Amino acid sequence: MLGIGAEPVRLTWRVEDPGDQGQVAYEIQSSGSADFDELLASSGEMRGEEQIGVEAPGAPLKSREIRHYRARIASAAGWSDWSPVLTVEAGLNQASDWVAEAVTLPDDPGSQRQSPSPLLRHEFDLIADVKKARLYVTSLGVHRVSINGQPVTEELLNPGWSSYRHRLLSATYDVSDLLSPGSNVVSGVLGDGWYRGRLGWDPTDDRARYGVELGLIAQLEIELSDGSSMRVITDEDWLTSTGEILSADLYDGAVIDFTSEQLGWELPEFDTTGWKKAAVIPYRKELIRPRQSPAVREIETRPTQVVGRSGNKIIVDGGQNLAGFVRLRVKGDQGDQVTVRHAEVLESDGELHTRALRSAKATDNYTLADGGEVDLEPTFTFHGFRYAEVETEAEVILAEVVAISSDLPRRGWFECSDQTLNRLHENVVWSQQANFVSIPTDCPQRDERLGWTGDAQAFAPTACTLFEAQQFWSSWLEDLALDQDDQLGVPSVVPDVVLEGEPRFGRAGWADAATFVPWAVYESYGDLEILRKQFESMRRWVDSLVARRGVDRLLPPAMQFGDWLDPDAPPDRPWEAKADSTFLANAFFSHSARLTAEAAELLGDTALSSHYRRLADEIAAAVWAGWQDHVIETQTGCAVALSFDIVPGGERSRIEDALADLVRQSEGRVATGFLGTPLVLHALARGGRFDEAYQMLLRRRHPSWLYQVEMGATSIWERWDAIRPDGSIHPGDMAPPPGMEDQDGPQGHMLSFNHYAYGAVIDWVYRHLAGLAPDHSRPGYRHVILAPKPVSGIDWARASIDSDLGTTAISWRREPDGDLSVDVQLPFGASGTFLPPANDDSEVTLDGQPSEREVILGPGSHRLLVTNPRIASPDPS
Ligand code: BGC
């Protein structure tokens, strides 16, 4: 692992042989050499079963330091062998390590308007073979770096988006193989990206949010075979020019003119006549941190089908709504233009529906340089789309779609006998990938693509279930804490750009991402470190709410986004939901205080824990006193009050009944927005109301989750009826949200086909339909609750999670004789409580032997059989 930071190294190990012996002790050693002939540090023999996020012994790594680790464990069978060696190498962790300057094109017109990308190059000689070379790099704006014409990485849009006023992320690459004795060239191309490109919905004033000058900051450190070393850094000796990239913007797309290409400029001995000396611009070295979260990459290439043709235009369909771009192979003449426009859906006449993009042009344009075949793909941009229109005189030989995303390993898998539900699951996976492009965003297509905290709050548990997103969230939460304000609270978008006035900070259910997201990460990955890191931020958020309370101890009415996009809200005023927004604000306040109390307790601070628990209870009681009659009127009211323990113990079943009645009376109609949707099925499940939960989940009429699948969705829509039952596209009209009337608001229109918030339901599907849930008392799937809830109409289901311990899986099937067979697999270090879906006379066998109904299972494979199982049977909807 290259480029790790200055924080203590934390290790996680998996033990392959499940056996039935648990870990009773471990030992970690570190060394400067891979053969461990000399130890740097040892943990000694430590008693305990910890396998996840264990802090390695020894001082934090110094910049550039290489360190090797190995671990072994003891079980009742004795000590294991040492694990394979893990080698880590630190990046540049001190501001003083950075001697490179930030360089760019002098008098870059890009400071005023979209302009050609600066090209930067430096040629140097090596007098001997290269033993080892590292490139440390970051930039103001996005960059691509090559050595002797070879890209140093396939990562895209580096250094990614962070709260640039506080943090600029760097990466480390092993470039030893790209250099050779003689003349070498290191080169870079810069793009506006998030730093200087468009951000926000006001096309008259949306550029250069972070700065007007781009800058490449690169430091190449080389050790030669003759024992000498040298350093090549970006400085005023670099040469600069422009080339074929005439402009590149995340919203608008790229304009590439191959007649302006400077062929060979990244290779040695290129004629640099006409190139200028680079301009050096100031930057703050102390903001640079090694990036710990996976970079953005191509994740899939998909073929397209031509679905429309008129004149010199074709419309291609990639079959999937995603974030990415179109890659073309064309053959034409010098000067031929190729224009590619993008859209998520087609109008009824077969044309692209581009209104949803608002002011984002989402158009890539190429000018061909000669008559040969050429491959085209845009630089420093991406689009949210399924369809693309390609307009050109040239012959289109190939058109494929490339999906991009922060490259997180997939960890959650689900499948069942209901293909529509499987497609919903796939749609959520795709919406996560499309919206995890460096930071968690609301959508990937229109002039927005911002880190809306409410969307993240709603979706975080599902995101953690589907992908290995721990570092991704940890990085974003670091920005959330840095952008947080002691008085105003947490921003509605992180990184904090674009918004002004009241909507900017402290909105209920949005700002609560400060407490909800760390908690979701802790529960799913089981590493206390996230709570340790975020605890101050959690506390500061709750304390800012305390300061805003009125004399009645409650938060007063204020502008809120509320249960955003409640299907019963006026379509152009999505904040006017049925559930009272002051009730919601206070309920979220109570729950944020409760999560802060839980975190304090886990971190060992009992005084703070009881302080925040008292606060949570106090607010909960006041909320109940103020809104108990209101709560039972809506699904969101009941779901929030039940999930956040606002409802006093003795009243729970009455409110559970009320929620179940609401669901039944409306035939499973989803009546919740962004805040209620993630909770409603969980609230039903906690009360044992599976018939009603399934009535909602499996409903196919509008509004419902499966409605959109049946209408052909391949990702999760922002509005429940983005395509209306008559097949027409929702008009998407919007009034300016409260508090934003005097700002150039989101252009009077809001309609995205790729918003993950409603996809939050998928976490419920893993936990209850499949029956695989993490247990927050032993988080990270160390202990799991195996409680499948079969339902009529679904014959089998299976789910698995690749947790840090290994694969945890469940699979159930309704056998022809009516029994339910359940197969469970648990990795070393894990255990599970099996809770059968049982009727009074059900019997349970475990691996062929009669068993108690509730059984604790250890590592390994187990087969359970439940006779006369309880099968949920929802009313038809
Ligand atoms: C975004 C949402 C966001 C909301 C806040 C919209 O424009 O797309 O997903 O949470 O505004 O109200």
Res. 841: pLDDT tops 60: yes
pLDDT at 747: 60
Find the 731 Cα to ligand 1 centroid distance in Å.
Answer: 17
Instruction: Give dist(CA 662, CA 643) in Å, integer.
Output: 17
pLDDT at 154: 98
Find the 447 Cα to ligand 1 centroid distance in Å.
Answer: 12
Decide: 504 in ligand 1 pocket, CB within 6 A. Answer: no
Res. 589: pLDDT tops 90: yes
Which residues, 6 or more positions from 758, have their beta carbon under 8 angstroms from its beta carbon? 674, 677, 705, 716, 717, 720
Decide: 455 in ligand 1 pocket, CB within 6 A. Answer: yes
Single out the catalytic residue among 448, 478, 523, 692. Answer: 448
Res. 701: pLDDT tops 90: yes
% of residues, the chain, pLDDT over 70: 99
Q: Show the tokens assigned to 713.
A: 């969705």
520-533: pLDDT as tens digits = 999 999 999 999 99
Closest residue CA from atom 4 of ligand 1: 452
Decide: 443 in ligand 1 pocket, CB within 6 A. Answer: yes
CB atoms within 10 A of CB 689: 21
Cis geometry, peptide bond prior to residue 495 (ω within 30 degrees of 0): yes
Closest residue CA from atom 5 of ligand 1: 561
Which residues, 6 or more positions from 661, have their beta carbon under 8 angstroms from its beta carbon? none
Instruction: Give dist(CA 589, CA 506) in Å, integer.
Output: 11
Decide: 452 in ligand 1 pocket, CB within 6 A. Answer: yes
**745: confidence class by pLDDT, cuts 50, 70, 90:** low
Is 426 known to be catalytic?
A: no
**Across 484-496, average pLDDT:** 98
pLDDT at 119: 98
**17: confidence class by pLDDT, cuts 50, 70, 90:** confident
**Across 412-420, average pLDDT:** 98
627-681: pLDDT as tens digits = 999 999 999 999 999 999 999 999 999 999 999 999 999 999 999 999 999 999 9
Pair 242, 196: CB distance under 8 Å: no
Which of 552, 632, 539, 635 has the alpha carbon at shortest distance from 586? 552
The ligand 1 atom nearest the CA atom of 750:
7
Which of 830, 772, 827 has the alpha carbon at shortest distance from 799? 772
Ligand 1 probe mutation, 199, 442, 572, most atoms within 8 A of CB: 442
Amino acid at 184: N
537-582: pLDDT as tens digits = 999 999 999 999 999 999 999 999 999 999 999 999 999 999 999 9
Find the 29 Cα to ligand 1 centroid distance in Å.
Answer: 48
86-123: pLDDT as tens digits = 999 999 999 999 999 999 999 999 999 999 999 999 99
**Across 749-775, average pLDDT:** 97
Decide: 454 in ligand 1 pocket, CB within 6 A. Answer: yes
Where are any strands of DSSP class E within 466-542?
Answer: none
157-176: pLDDT as tens digits = 999 999 999 999 999 999 99
Is 391 known to be catalytic?
A: no
The ligand 1 atom nearest the CA atom of 575:
12
**743: confidence class by pLDDT, cuts 50, 70, 90:** low
197-224: pLDDT as tens digits = 999 988 888 999 999 999 999 999 999 9
Find the 673 Cα to ligand 1 centroid distance in Å.
Answer: 12
**21: confidence class by pLDDT, cuts 50, 70, 90:** confident
The number of angstroms, rounded, from the C-alpha of 90 to the middle of its chain's C-alpha atoms is 25
**Across 835-859, average pLDDT:** 96
**Across 432-457, average pLDDT:** 98
The ligand 1 atom nearest the CA atom of 718:
9
pLDDT at 877: 72
Decide: 756 in ligand 1 pocket, CB within 6 A. Answer: no
Find the 157 Cα to ligand 1 centroid distance in Å.
Answer: 24
Find the 452 Cα to ligand 1 centroid distance in Å.
Answer: 6
Ligand 1 probe mutation, 435, 439, 493, 564, most atoms within 8 A of CB: 564
In order, the DSSP letters of 541-554 are HHHHHHHH--TTSS
**Across 497-518, average pLDDT:** 96
Sign of CA dihedral 528, 533, 537, 540: positive
Find the 552 Cα to ligand 1 centroid distance in Å.
Answer: 30
480-489: pLDDT as tens digits = 999 999 999 9
pLDDT at 199: 97
HSE-CB of 704 using CA atoms within 13 angstroms? 24
% of residues, the chain, pLDDT over 90: 96
The ligand 1 atom nearest the CA atom of 746:
7
**139: confidence class by pLDDT, cuts 50, 70, 90:** very high
Find the 200 Cα to ligand 1 centroid distance in Å.
Answer: 12
Q: Show the tokens assigned to 355.
A: 């209104």
Instruction: Give dist(CA 818, CA 811) in Å, integer.
Output: 16
**742: confidence class by pLDDT, cuts 50, 70, 90:** low
Which of 210, 161, 151, 139 has the alpha carbon at shortest distance from 186? 151
**250: confidence class by pLDDT, cuts 50, 70, 90:** very high
223 burial class (0-12, 13-18, 19+ CB within 10 angstroms)? middle
Q: Give Rg (Cα) of the chain.
A: 28
Res. 810: pLDDT tops 60: yes
**839: confidence class by pLDDT, cuts 50, 70, 90:** very high
Decide: 616 in ligand 1 pocket, CB within 6 A. Answer: no
Instruction: Give dist(CA 192, CA 249) in Å, integer.
Output: 6
The ligand 1 atom nearest the CA atom of 674:
10
Res. 744: pLDDT tops 80: no
The ligand 1 atom nearest the CA atom of 453:
10
253-297: pLDDT as tens digits = 999 999 999 999 999 999 999 999 999 999 999 999 999 999 999
DSSP β-ladder status, 2-4 and 86-90: parallel
Backbone angles phi, psi at 355, to 5 degrees: -60, -35
Decide: 563 in ligand 1 pocket, CB within 6 A. Answer: no
Closest residue CA from atom 8 of ligand 1: 442
pLDDT at 855: 97
Q: Show the tokens assigned to 120.
A: 């930067």
Ligand 1 probe mutation, 561, 565, 756, most atoms within 8 A of CB: 561
**713: confidence class by pLDDT, cuts 50, 70, 90:** very high
Instruction: Give dist(CA 800, CA 387) in Å, integer.
Output: 33
